[in-house]
Amino acid sequence: MTDTLQMLVIITAIALATFTTRVLPFLCFGSREPPAMLSTIEKNLPPMILLLLVIYCLKDVQWLSAPYGIPELLTIAVVAGLHLWKRNAMLSIFAGTGLYMALVQFNVFSFL
């Protein structure tokens, strides 16, 4: 298979998969109300995914050696505080990423 043909096949498969996942709820439920369980999942899934991402990010932190996870905990506190204060996810994400990168790259806690 040529590179161009292979690319077209892959793009077509991805487009069909995306379209199918978008159309499937309308085919299954039509105009009637979705089940209560689905509404519960829809409401609780984003916080659960974020919690899993935080746990995944903290799994390799060395809590018993310097800097004892201080950059991570400080960044989590700043992101949570910013989000509770401004209710702006993009601000929280960019500020948290920038703060964490600054703390790690400049070895702010190297004195520990």
* 22 domain residue, yes or no: yes
* 54 domain residue, yes or no: no
Residue 90, φ and ψ in degrees, nearest 5: -65, -40
* 56 domain residue, yes or no: no
* 57 domain residue, yes or no: no
Domain range for residue 73?
A: 62-111
Residue with tokens 């509770």: 84
Number of domains in the chain: 2
pLDDT (tens digit per residue) in 40-72:
988 999 889 989 988 998 999 999 998 899 999
Q: Residue 90 CA to chain centroid, in angstroms?
A: 12
pLDDT (tens digit per residue) in 17-46:
999 999 998 888 887 888 888 889 889 998
107 and 66 assigned to the same domain: yes
The Cα 5–Cα 69 span in angstroms is 49
| One-letter identity of residue 42 | E
* 97 domain residue, yes or no: yes
Left, alpha or beta for 107 (phi > 0: left; psi -120 to 50: alpha)?
left
